[in-house]
Amino acid sequence: MEPWSECALARLEAVLGAENVRRTPEVLRRYAVNMLSVGDIVPAAVATPGTIEEIQAVLAIANEGRLPVWALSGGQNRGYGMACANRPGTLILDLGRMNKIIEVNADLAYALVEPGVTFAQLYRYIRDHDLPLWMDVPSGSPDGSCLGNITERGAGYTPLGEKFLFSCGMEVVLGDGRVIRTGTGTLPGTKTWQIFKWGYGPSLDGLFTQSNYGIVTKVGFWLVPKPPAYEPLAVVMDGPDSVYRAIEALRPLKLSMVIPNGACVTHVRKALGLTACWGGGKTILPKVGRRFDYSSETVAELKKTFSLGDWNFAGALYGLPETVRLYRQIVEQVLSSAVPGCRFLSAEEQQASPYWKAREMAMRGEPLWQFDMSDWDGKAGALWISPVAPATNEHVAAQIRIAEEIYAKYGFSYSAELILGTGRDLHHIIWLMFDRTDPEERERADRCVLDMYDRYCEVGYLPYRTGVTTGDHLMRKLGTFRDICHDLKRVFDPNNVLAPGKSGIDLG
């Protein structure tokens, strides 16, 4: 594809105003830096449209010159790409100015928002209007967008944590400039756009997630009615087998919805990394040079300081005080007999540890205000590799074995979190931390990630998401599905202007 020329950028300025087409070195750097293994990806410019008409005008210029455009909403995509495009010379379309909360309906427990609405913004709105609702948040920045997390099919920690599943109704500007609404939004004057997900005829919503067919300009999603009683469970488990025992014990509790939320079992090294981002101080995982210090003495000391075990279970109970009391007894009984020596932390212990405190907040939908990775940005690399596993100990063991083997080959340390989605699936979110300033280490991390994708796919575990630059590697394994994705690209974005190459879909 051609890069954006001076002439095209000048036309863009005429449409959006010069103040909404930024390309100073500082701005370009902010949108170039990432935590991936590929180095900075410098865009041509950053455009900030304020309306759908302005988005259409940008797309008209892009279509005319066949110029690449990459939309983003919050730009907090961390281990999958931060605020950068997949290749240099792209126009970043930052939708942060389009940040209206269009509706929050307390009776029917839903919200309809524009792309720029952040978790912090919606949380404050709900709080300031004293609405009896909770929202779902991720484990990342409060400045992330509600929309971006849905379009990337992110996972959260409340009972509505499977975010795309609980979204309802989108408005999308297609690559060719047409505007479409999904669900019952197809009917002018619909009264059920955020109420009934399926509409009539083919359900199109999924086409606008992890794809490059359109720019989503509105999204609806459901909220959690604030329950009369809530109890966070924090369980510390030791020994390498504890994770397998815990998964077997937790699966029936999840399937039967005794534990209804996006509960997770987290390895100590990941828990310590998260603690560092969640207000645990930047030195929580001391570095030797630029590397994290994973020596057993350091980890043992930090485990004590932050009330952590080798593996750590966070889940929660929601409902009436009576049911929550009863369910707590059941969970305690089941886990204690399945995982000998496991320990349930008291409410005071949870609040005293930045790790458990953040878990408690996230499971009732409060954004993690302390989130801070500024110490890492541009220096520390962090990639998230996320194969999905069936929720049985056999599959968890197989996945951990693969990760440990490959990490040992490339000289990295395994650290991961297992999110129990519906009870059937586990999002196995494996962290790969490396020194981004060291080209040799970056290159090693790059090879390691692709090796991980290859091995997991060989044995039937498809990752649920990739970083912005590795989509093609994965998509090439998917046969006819890949062909159809390209056919659809021709329908929605025939000039290939929207995020070409994202998820491996590219007509170029």
Nearest distance from residue 46's CB to ligand ADP, in Å? Answer: 13
**Residues at the interface with ligand ADP (CB under 6 A):** 71-77, 81, 83, 95, 115, 144-145, 147-149, 151-152, 215-216, 468, 499, 502
Output 142 or 354, the one with its CB closest to ligand ADP: 142
Residues 6+ apart with CB under 8 A from 89: 3, 4, 42, 43, 44, 68
Q: Output 215 or 418, the one with its CB closest to ligand ADP.
A: 215
CA distance 372 to 274: 10
Which residue type, as a one-letter code, is found at position 93? L
Which residues 6+ apart lie within 8 Å of 388 measured at CB? 425, 426, 427, 428, 461, 462, 463, 464
User: Is there a contact between 493 and 176 (Cβ–Cβ < 8 Å)?
Assistant: yes
Q: How far is the CB of 342 from ligand ADP (least distance, A)?
A: 33
Nearest CA to 86 out of 174, 214, 207, 212 is that of 212
Which CB atom, from 215 or from 385, has the smaller least distance to ligand ADP? Answer: 215
Provide the minimum distance between the beta carbon of 478 and ligand ADP in the complex, in angstroms, as a whole number: 19
Q: Which is nearer to ligand ADP, 76 or 399 (CB)?
A: 76
Rounded least distance, CB 158 to ligand ADP, Å: 17
Cβ closest to ligand ADP, residue 71 vs residue 406:
71
The 8-class DSSP code of residue 387 comes to B
* Residue of 260, 265, 226 lying closest to 243 (CA atoms): 265
CB of residue 195 to ligand ADP, shortest distance in Å: 22
- The upper half-sphere exposure of residue 254, i.e. CA atoms within 13 Å in the direction of its Cβ, equals 25
| Cβ-contact 245, 133 below 8 angstroms | no
Kindly tell me which of 41 and 389 has the beta carbon lying closer to ligand ADP.
Answer: 41
DSSP 8-state secondary structure symbol assigned to residue 367: -
- The residue (of 214 and 227) whose beta carbon lies closer to ligand ADP is 214
Smallest distance, ligand ADP to C-beta of residue 439, A: 25
Q: Which amino acid is at 440?
A: E
Q: To the nearest whole angstrom, how small is the minimum distance from the Cβ of residue 80 to ligand ADP?
A: 7
Q: Report how far residue 231's alpha carbon sits from residue 318's, in angstroms, rounded to the nearest whole number.
A: 7
What backbone torsions phi and psi does residue 383 show, to the nearest 5 degrees?
Answer: -115, 145
Phi-psi region of 170 (alpha: psi -120 to 50; beta: other; left: phi over 0): beta
Q: Residue 356: helix, strand or coil by DSSP? A: helix
* Nearer to ligand ADP among residue 77 and residue 182 (C-beta): 77
Min dist CB 356 to ligand ADP, Å, is 24
Closer residue to ligand ADP, CB minimum distance, 138 or 315: 138
Q: Minimum distance from CB of 214 to ligand ADP (Å)?
A: 7
Q: Which residue is nearest to ligand ADP (CB)?
A: 74
* CA separation, residue 8 to residues 41, 45, 177, 247, 446 (Å): 20, 11, 17, 55, 34
With tokens 């300009």, the residue in question is: 217
Residue closer to ligand ADP (CB basis): 63 or 76: 76
Q: What is d(CA 315, CA 260) in angstroms, rounded to the nearest whole number?
A: 8
Q: How far is the CB of 71 from ligand ADP (least distance, A)?
A: 4
Cβ atoms of 261 and 250 within 8 Å: the answer is: no
- Shorter beta-carbon distance to ligand ADP: residue 78 or 269: 78
CA 221 – CA 168 distance, rounded (Å): 5
The distance of closest approach from Cβ of residue 94 to ligand ADP in the complex, given in angstroms and rounded to an integer, is 8
504 in the Ramachandran plot: left (φ > 0), alpha (ψ -120 to 50) or beta? left
